[in-house]
Chain A
């Protein structure tokens, strides 16, 4: 079945550091890819999405590029701030694949940023 792999369970950085969170996917169809962010005490919220190969999604200084060749959608930010501390989830939806209209999430990456 469809799946999402996030290799980093936790990431600890200092302010102004560069961030990369890796996300690879496996899907039988042509999925839409998402990044969600969850701040402490809140539910996850959409950061951005991408639906086509080479499409770049971006929001709040974060970005990721859909790469069908490497089946990846890595999250990057050039300079993190303490306020970026949160859990980040990569997810996919593959309407014509095994997951149908459902969203499949990765395990999440806890980002902690020190001032």
Chain B
């Protein structure tokens, strides 16, 4: 099956800083999504982005399908951005990476 590798595993930022999270896939996928897991455990869908670039407020994502990776950009980070960020890719069911634990300090 598809292997998903996320980096970095942990990231600590000061409020206002920018960050980039990366997701690599072992094989091509036609369904790629980014999620934020809040402290209560719920996964919130941030982007459905099999290719190209999308932006939503301070967050944006880029997927380069031919090179099998995706990037999530967080600008002007806030403490509420803290949590675990997961990417998942699939051809019919999502396989997730181990996540990036982001801590944003005030």
Query: Is B truly associated with A?
Result: no
**A residues adjacent to B (C-beta < 8 A):** none
